[in-house]
Amino acid sequence: MPRADDPEVAKFGILALALLLLGSARCYARTDWENAKIPFLSGTAAAVAPASVGSIGKPAEVALPETDFAKWFSVEPTADPYDPTVWIAVDTFFASASTPSGWAEACKKAGAAAGGDRAAKLELGALGCSDNANVTLIQRFALQVLGTRAEVALWVRGVPGHGNAGIQGRQGELRLICAIDVVAREGGTGSVFAQACAKALDQAYTLGDGATTFLTLGDAYKLVATEIAKRDPTIDPEPATFGAAAKKP
């Protein structure tokens, strides 16, 4: 058996390596690198990036759906309190209005439907624009309560995509607002906000009692809506920016 240090074996290894390098050189020579369009090897400019790449990081245009606000807070005894057509519209409004730019458009639509006097249509009026930044922050809490109530209603009716986990997620946001936001700063034992937070975080639905949680969320929303009407009775054409200095006492 040939040994590794045999001169003949060494010559055979050198010949094999030479043949391998020659084959690689021929492949390289036959490659049309110019037409390969590889940016770092070709002198040809790379293709222009699609428009979708340029839009990364830019907020989407706010497009609020058309809805009948009059049905949102109906007190007619024959009305279905969990009507999916109503609460899907509320849920869509909630999603659209959950950013500052979305809220600016949402509060204008709600305000136009409510009229100038916030207290005249208390619950809808709570969603109308306020140029008082502190009130605008409270309205964010009201919107979260309303969105959570929509999730409960749609869960009760078994609408796909809405369930126990969705309610917990929205209540998690409420818990955060109640703990560190304007509601926490102004709330205290026995305050309107403390009462609203306690009702908004009701857990009856975890035991299958969605009706109780739905009702307590409605009570929480009314408490906050009443407070908003007291602080800013007139609906404004434009909202204050979240966190901006208040324009009204």
What is the C-alpha separation between 90 and 171, in angstroms, rounded? Answer: 17
Give pTM, 2 decimals: 0.73
Q: What is the pLDDT of residue 1?
A: 52
Tokens of 205: 């639905």
pLDDT tens series, the chain, 249 aa: 555 555 554 555 555 555 555 555 455 445 554 455 555 444 555 455 455 445 444 444 556 667 889 899 987 777 899 999 999 999 999 999 999 899 999 999 999 999 999 999 999 999 999 999 999 999 999 999 999 999 999 999 999 999 999 999 999 999 999 998 877 888 788 899 999 999 999 999 999 999 999 999 999 999 999 999 999 999 999 998 754 444 443
Say how many CA atoms lie within 13 Å of 102 toward its Cβ. 17
Say how many CA atoms lie within 13 Å of 248 toward its Cβ. 17
The owner of tokens 């609408």 is 159
- The secondary structure of the chain in percent helix, strand, coil, rounded to multiples of 5, reads 60, 0, 40
- The domain limits of the chain are 1-50, 60-231
**Largest separation between any pair of C-alpha atoms in the chain:** 105
Q: Is 234 helix (H, G, I), strand (E, B) or coil?
A: strand
Identify which of 167, 168, 102 has the alpha carbon closest to the alpha carbon of residue 140: 102
**How long a stretch of residues is the chain?**
249
